Structure formats: C-alpha cells, structure tokens
Chain A
C-alpha cells in the first residue's frame, strides 16, 4: 500500500474525504435560500430582548429548554404551531437545544403575563412544588448592563441606530417601572428596592421570554 508510507499524501487525502460530506451537507446549504428564508412578519429582537437572550445563553438555559416545536400532533397540541426556519433568521447563535428537561420555549411569548414569569423565575418551586428548575431570583438583583447594547445589535445586523437602541431601552424601562404596569406588584416583590426604578437582568430575560414565538402568534391572529 503506497499511501500508507506517504504521510503528507495520506493527510491530504483524508482532508479531501472528510470535506466531501461537509461541502454537500454544510457548506452548500449555507448559500441556499431554504436555510435562510426571510419573512416580513418576523421582527428582530429589540435591544432589551437581545440582552435577555444573552442572559439566557449565559445561564445555559438551552441545556434544559429547547426552542423548536416539531411538526408532531402532540407537540403542536402541547406547545402550539410548529417552528419554521424563517423564525430564526435573527438567531445568532441558534438556541434550539437538544434536551427537554424543561418544556420547549419557542411559543412561550404571550402565554403568561409578566407577573407569572417574575414569580416563576424567583422561585419555580413556589409555583410547581416538584419542579427541578434552579431559582433565578438573583437576576432581579443585577442591574442590566446596557453598555454594549448598541454594539450587540449592530453586530447582529438589526439595523438600529444608537438613538433607537437608547430609545428601546428607555421605553422598556418606562414600561416596567410605570405605576400602571400590570405586573408591577410582582415585579416590586422580587426586585430589591434600590433597583425598582432600573432595568434588571430579570426584566430583560422576561422581555426575551415574551418575544419567543410572538411574531408567529400575532401573524396567526391577523389571519
């Protein structure tokens, strides 16, 4: 066997052999429209939602929660309309997950009021005694770091101006700190007094929760 005595040729041939499947199933699809469909009803994340998404990533929520509803009868029954590729056009990285220790979250937006999430994040066991989800009440004790928010949205290519990002942050802050906010009592309960007038990490991750699947739901509602 000639090739077994020529290490460089052997390595080059190995590279070629592994690249065939790679090119066909990974590299070529990168440029196909079917892997990157766009849809006018799917909107990019706001700066707050993106910050919330980053907290979701930081805490490794994807280790227990998926974000893809499969086209199976019981799955659609449990979570809602199955997931389509265009919904993930703004997901860098994707967060589909691989294990459902907790339920799928791709249709969680709008399912519960913010107050439900504040309570549940603070203590999942207070709502579901036997839940094994870690408590995340401490997120409400962390002021949201927005120093990179604009940079983040521009790297993601969302096309917001710096003013727009500032405005989004200010709007969301105004919303959750307003006296008329429908989840005010619960938010105040879980948020330390000195941060009640600020945006916290808890606020951001809940904004992100409420965004998940919302575009699809509002499209369905319009039909």
Chain B
C-alpha cells in the first residue's frame, strides 16, 4: 500500500459493510416472504409486514447497494485517476457515519417512523444525515477528479459523476417536508403532485443507484477481469448521455391510469420506450467486448457474472418499458409481476455485478488470492437459480392475479373476489420463499469466501 499511497482501508470497510447489510436485508426478506403466506409471523408491531417491508427495501437498497457502490467507487476513483484519495479521513468518517445511519434507519423504520414515500421512507433527521453523507462522498469525488494524474476520465467516472449529481437533486427535492416532531413530518407536496415528485424520485433512485453506478462497475471491472478493452468508446458515450437524459422523464410510468394528468403519463411512456436504446447500448458493448473470447464464459469465473449480469440488465430494461405501456400496465400494475421485475434487476443484475466486482477487487486491495474460485462458482449457480425461480414464480403469479382481477362472468359481473385471487397465490409464495433460501445460501457462500480471503496470509511478500 505504501508504494502507491492508495487508501484501501475504506474500500474494504465499505465492502464488508455491504456484505453485512446484504445478509441482514435478506434475512428480513425471507421473514416477510414467509409472512405473505403465514401471517402468524407478524408477532409484534416491530415485526409486522408493513414495517419490515421498508426495512428490507431500505436495508438492501441503501445498506447493501450504496455500501457496494461506495466501496467500488472509492477504488475505481483512485485507480482511474492514478491519484490517492485526497481526504482519507473524510472517507473514514463517511464509512462510520454511513453504518450508523443505516442502523438508525433500520431501527426507526421498525419503530414505525415512516414517511411512506417509497425508497424515501426515512424521517427528516435521517434525511439530513443522508445529505451530509452524500456531501462527504461528493467532496472526495470532485477533489480526486480535479487532482487527477490521468488526463482523460474513463467511462466509469462519467457514471459516478452523474450519480453524485443526480442523487443529490433527487433526494433533496423529494424529501422536502415540514417537521411535526423529531420523528414525524409531512411532505410539502400534496396529492397528485406528491405522487409525481415521488415517482420521479422512485424511478430515478433505481436508475442512479441500481443502474448508473453498477454500469460504472461493469465498464471498469469487465475489462479488468477479462483483459479485454471495451468494444466501442463511441457507443459508450452515446449510451451515457442518452441514458441520463431520458431517465428523468419516465417516472410517471409508475402512475399509469392514476389521477395524474394524462400527458405526463404519455410522455413517460414515450421516453421509457426510448430508454431501451441506451440501455441496450451498454448491453451490446458488453457482449461485443467478449467478441472472439467467449470461451472466457467457461474459463474465467468472473466473465460469467458480468455477462449474465448484463443480460439481466438487458431483460430488465426491455421488460420495464413494456410494463409501462398503458394496456399492459392496466393488467400488470399492482400485481406480483412487478415484484418479480424489480427482483430480476436487484438479484440478477445488481448483485451479480457487485459480487464479481468484489471478487476482483478484494484480492487486489488485500494482496491475497481469492480463497476459493470453486466456491465463487457455486455462489454463482445458487444465486442464478434462486433468482430465476424467484422471479419466474412471481411473473406467473402476477399474470394469474391480473387475470383473476379482470375476469368477468357472462352477465358482466366479477368472477372472483379479491380474496380468491390472493389465496390462489399462496403456492407461489411458498415457492418464492424456497427460491429465496436458495439465493440466500449463495450469498452466504459469497460472504464466507470473502471473509476467508482476507483472513488468509498474504499471497505476496508485501501487500
């Protein structure tokens, strides 16, 4: 470490924080999945579905997702600028404050301090904490970019800059609220406007946390792990600018057929369809990078994660816009289909890419070989199988539920009660829980593999 001066302890700290919150978030996920067919598990108010669901989404989105992003961002920023972190103490403070905030977030949500705006459920004191965290991160991002030794900013840095800027705008605008007490506030927007602001935020927080920085990882770690340069620089430029331009128009596809003015919905549909192009720009760039070297899918365990991961990104970004179409949305919205959609992105794309990035990065920063490639392969197959069974089950359930809601008798009356449609899903909920367990085992292997990696003696004489 001394020879480069790079600050890696904070990278490692965030990486293992990510693993910790991943395991916690998944345990909660399994718990609420079980509650879906066995409500007896709602033992106390703290463990009731309504409170725990937000702990699950925030714990994994913010706890695991953001920690994984910070870990890889601090690594990529230093490598790609060939510059040590300008303020390592600030990054360390960032790490500690981050974990404190996530722990407080989990406790406060379990206690019912919930603003109910999806993925922005934290109450106002924690919102302020999140903004402070983001500023601490942004200071290092911009300082290192200004001080950088490498003239050109590589693709991954574009995505990190876009994330840093956009999340700040999204988070602040959507969380403007008037405090009632220390633990309670009301949104400053009302009704249809509040919905519009929220889903502009909700859609783009997914975009700029689960897409943009994960693409940054993809563009950096895929070439690193395979030894192959990205296929087309031009394609990555076009994809980048068109992606960040179009994303912000599409939030209202979450509000299809609601009282939101129809033109906003229609504009959102149009831009959602448009978004297929830049999304697939990255997919194609990834595939063509492997051109002529597809045997790496067998020989290089990391290539598998990246290519299957970007494949799920491609499917996700095709499925998403299609769900946004009015007719399909009328059928699928509010069903488990959408739950399946989200989980393909998170369990397939995001986790696959973060997993592979960690497998590449942790040995690099600790000077140790990965504990077991074999175990990493088993991890891959477990999370792939778990995710596929999970999402496909939910899609089938969603189709069934949508159809039962719509079904009418010859005389025009409704064929099924709401409860009929719900209870018909319980077999799927049981399968989903089983798939979740398979996935969870894969994740435990992932965590175990990395823990064993850092516990080994250094592979080289001096790290």
Interface residues of A (CB under 8 A from B): 1, 4-5, 7-8, 10-11, 14-15, 17-22, 24-26, 29-30, 32, 34-36, 54, 57-64, 66, 68, 70-72, 74-75, 77-78, 83-85, 87-103, 124-125, 128, 130-135, 138, 148, 151-152, 155-156
Contact = CB atoms under 8 A, between A and B. Distances in A.
Interface in B193-229: 193-198, 200
Given A7-B161, A130-B419, A35 B334 contact: no
Contacts of A87: 191, 259
A35 B186 contact: no
Contacts of B334: 66, 97-100
Nearest to B121: A60
A18 B187 contact: no
A59 B50 CA distance: 5
B251 interface: yes
Contacts of A54: 184
A102 B39 CA distance: 13
B388 to A, nearest CB: 22
Tell me if B's interface is mostly helix, strand, loop or mixed: helix
Nearest to B49: A134
Nearest to B185: A155
B115 A18 contact: no
Interface string B244-270: 111111111011011111001001100
Interface of B: 35-39, 42, 45, 48-51, 53-54, 112-118, 142, 145-146, 148, 151-153, 157-158, 161-162, 164-166, 169, 173, 178, 180-181, 184, 186-198, 200, 237, 241, 244-252, 254-255, 257-261, 264, 267-268, 271, 330, 334-335, 338-339, 405-408, 413-414, 418-419, 422-423, 426
A66 B195 CA distance: 12
6 shortest interchain CB distances as A-B pairs: A60-B50, A88-B191, A21-B248, A134-B42, A21-B249, A7-B145
24 contacts: A4-B158, A11-B142, A21-B247, A25-B264, A29-B196, A30-B189, A30-B197, A34-B261, A59-B51, A60-B53, A74-B405, A77-B408, A78-B414, A84-B259, A85-B191, A88-B190, A88-B192, A92-B190, A93-B117, A94-B190, A130-B426, A132-B36, A132-B422, A152-B186
Given A26-B200, A91-B191, A20 B248 contact: yes
A35 B35 contact: no
Contacts of A133: 39
B142 A7 contact: yes
B271 A91 contact: no
A5 B152 CA distance: 5
A123 to B, nearest CB: 10
B161 A78 contact: no
A148 B180 contact: yes
Given A32-B261, A64-B49, A134-B35, A101 B422 contact: yes
B247 A92 contact: no
Given A59-B51, A148-B184, A155-B186, A72 B39 contact: no
A53 B252 CA distance: 25
Contact of B338 (A8, A68, A96, A98): A98
A206 B254 CA distance: 29
B196 A26 contact: yes
Contacts of A125: 39
Contact of A22 (B45, B158, B200, B419): B200
Contacts of A68: 258-259
A66 B254 CA distance: 13
B386 to A, nearest CB: 22
B264 A29 contact: yes
A29 B180 contact: no
B248 A22 contact: yes
A19 B169 contact: yes
A93 B414 contact: no
Nearest to A133: B39
A8 B247 CA distance: 22
Contacts of A101: 36, 422
Contact of A4 (B152, B255, B271): B152
Most buried by B among A18, A36, A75: A18
Given A18-B165, A21-B271, A72-B330, A26 B197 contact: yes
A63 B50 contact: yes
Contacts of B142: 7-8, 11
Contacts of B335: 100
Contacts of A7: 142, 145-146, 148, 153, 157, 161
Contacts of B193: 29-30, 35-36
B116 A93 contact: yes
Most buried by B among A34, A35, A36: A35
B194 A29 contact: no
A25 B251 contact: yes
A91 B39 contact: no
A96 B195 contact: yes
Given A30-B189, A68-B259, A98 B254 contact: yes
A120 B49 CA distance: 17
Given A26-B251, A130-B419, A60 B338 contact: no
